[in-house]
Structure 1
Amino acid sequence: MRYRAWILLLLANLFWAGNMIFGKLSTSEFPAIWIAFLRWAVAVLFLIPIAQLLERPSWLQIWKKHWAFIALSAVLNIVIYCYLSYASLQLTSATNGALINTLTPALIMLFSFVLLKEKGSIFQVIGLITSFIGVLIVLTKGSLLQLIHTPYNKGDLLMFLGVFCFAAYSLLVKKVKSIPAFTFVAMMASVGTVVMIPFLFMQPFPGDKVTSFGILGILYLGIFPSVGSQMFWNYGIKVLGASKTGITMNLVPVFTAIISVILGQSLVISQIIGGLLTIAGMLLTSIRRRQRSPENDIAPRLDQ
């Protein structure tokens, strides 16, 4: 069972890496808001039946009790984070996007220190600083000494802003644990797709540009990272625990870089060095204080 859990976690992170690759490719055919909308509209078609089959929730009762939390989560994660992610991929590489996303656990840790007054270990503080340095190296293309004068890639900054939004969303998830996982994702995705509908009229659907490959890309985004990864991730947490499961998130930028190279994209030295530092920082922040329960440290991964 444990071997199966590790294999499924490998697939979960591979699918999330594919989200960056297919998200990047989809930006040539769809505006960012349409990618986010179509991805989650497809996902809802699978998430609601899965939630009903596995969890049999009382949908109306959950909505009445948690509607504000679900709506805010949908805006931060499904709408803002996803839109910024795909908007950034129009301007930056999938590898950069994946590396900046690796900063997420460190930002959650920082927000927890500042806003929730949680205490951390020296390893977590060092890991937080290391991750920031690694991402700065990626953002500045290695020109840390000229940090103020460096012309940043707008796409990198949009992804960084999106990661901030997801970190804020993650703090909300930590506070509410009474909603079953698939039910929560299904309701959040449903609300998010509805909220995005008015914004679709600002960027008309580019029907003349859409190809069969673009449609396959949207289907991939809606099924594999949105549904498959969520199922595999939850299984990993159940079998291995949240701390061990969380460490596997380091594989996303690795898989993304490998796929990008296979597709013909070259890697620069600043991406390699910054990526290694960011991943090292992530590993350090995963070292928990002994008195804390590892099962409650990492919320279900719903962002990628």
Structure 2
Amino acid sequence: MSKFRTIEISDPRYESANLRFMTVKSEHLRGRGDICIFVPPGISASEVLPVVILLHGVYGSAWAWTHSAGVHLQVMEMIRSGEIPPMVLAMPSDGLWGDGSVYLPHNGYDFEKWIAEDVVAALSEKIAGVTEASPLFITGLSMGGFGALRIGAKNGSLFRGMSGHSSITSLEQMSLFVEEELSNYRQLSAADEHVFQTIDQHRYHLPAMRFDCGCDDALIEYNRQLHQQLEAAGIAHEYDEFPGGHEWPYWTAHIGKSLKFFAQQLRHAPKDNNNSIKP
């Protein structure tokens, strides 16, 4: 029996570039949410595929990663070259609240559970190769990096890896991008408004983690600070800086690094709960 009252999925006869689209009625959204999905071709019915959830930034929606970065074309080429194994990409909308939902619960909606629960459940119901045994990963850009690192940290038993590109690291930084008052986004616990504090709270059950930022990005100092905080706390992670700003050319150039990082996790046995902390 479906978890959802309704799920609409695109007709394969009209799909192109191995993309399909799904619209799900979610209790957490109090309405419908969209998911753009890349499914690699030539997959047998018995295969179990890894899934990468890609979260967009402010102003965006389910189409952002494909139609602003062509990520599905890049992934297809990486699969063909053997850089990564066949994997499903799930690119959900953030819930389309204001300029961005921040992937947090607020204003009577739970945008966090929409990602962590509903997106995963909808894929399992409708996408061949996605099952409860599918390894899960999560990444995102800017606001999506904030969401990916927080949701990944809070759900370490669900995700094998998490990453962020040009990530917002604290709710306060949303004021750089949105017109909505920050009071709309406030959480009961202040720790839920900060990437580091969320990660630190769940430090013994973390997925593998990486993040990067462009040297010309307005968020570079915040990402450097997060890196320093994680190092000081002894929390294992990878951090990189590259030329570039807060822009699609940067994210297009570097999303492949996260996909390769996730592929590395597939080649290793699942970590025990203490491996997120350096000795």
Q: TM-score, normalised by structure 1?
A: 0.25
Higher strand share: 2
Larger Rg, first or second structure (1 or 2): 1
Q: TM-score, normalised by structure 2?
A: 0.26
Higher helix share: 1
Give the number of the structure with larger relative contact order, counting CA–CA contacts within 8 Å between residues 6 or more apart.
Answer: 1
